[in-house]
Amino acid sequence: MDIFSILFLRKLRAMAVKDVDEYIEIHEYWQTELRQIREMLQETILEETIKWGAPTYTLKDKNVAGLAAFKNHIALWFFNGALLQQNTGLLVNAQQGKTKALRQIRFEKGNEINTQILLPYVLEAIENQKLGKTIKASRKQELIIPPELNSALKNDAELDESYCQLTCSKQKEYANYISAAKKETTRAKRLEKIIPMIKKGVGLQDKY
């Protein structure tokens, strides 16, 4: 089995995880770092769950923060991170000019994870959610994203990051591919097909 097949199977397994313990177990390389951040998040009032294959932390069913493990880094995500004002120094916009609300704090292997520094970010995000503060996602006017794809992007930080990294033409190809289907069942099947392609960074017409 070649390396691509191994990585692809790991990704499919990650998308099917049942709980955060299993997610951490799968991502062996990042287990120590994921556990550190998870323990901090568990000390807050946020509820822990799995959404779209990754640990997500919610307040009254509203997404506040999330964890994601990538090849070269892990990230602590804030779904409305752009609203943070008191704690901003570590925040990164994965795609400047494209990602409006999402912000993340990245850690590469060997980086110190100081939960006393991270906790204020989380607490401010919780307070913003309590106050009902939110940022509506927006895209370039010429790119019309169908509801099914838009919902998937909002609820999967890794998918949103990968989609934003695509060229405009490839983004349009995927959006049009979903929109062209008239039946709801067909749209759902097409969405299921393209999600791993988007995360791999290929276009609809590329060899997959």
Strand order in the sheet with 62-69: 47-51, 54-59, 62-69, 74-78, 103-107
Does 22 score more than 50 pLDDT?
yes
- pLDDT tens per residue, range 44-92: 999 999 987 899 999 999 999 999 999 899 999 999 999 999 999 999 9
Q: pTM of the full predicted structure?
A: 0.61
Domains and CATH numbers, the chain: 3-130 (3.90.1150.200), 147-200 (no CATH)
CA-based max dimension of the chain? 51
- Across the chain, the runs of DSSP E, i.e. the strands, are 47-51, 54-59, 62-69, 74-78, 103-107
- What is the CA angle 130-60-40, rounded to 5? 80
Number of CB atoms found within 10 A of residue 15's CB: 16
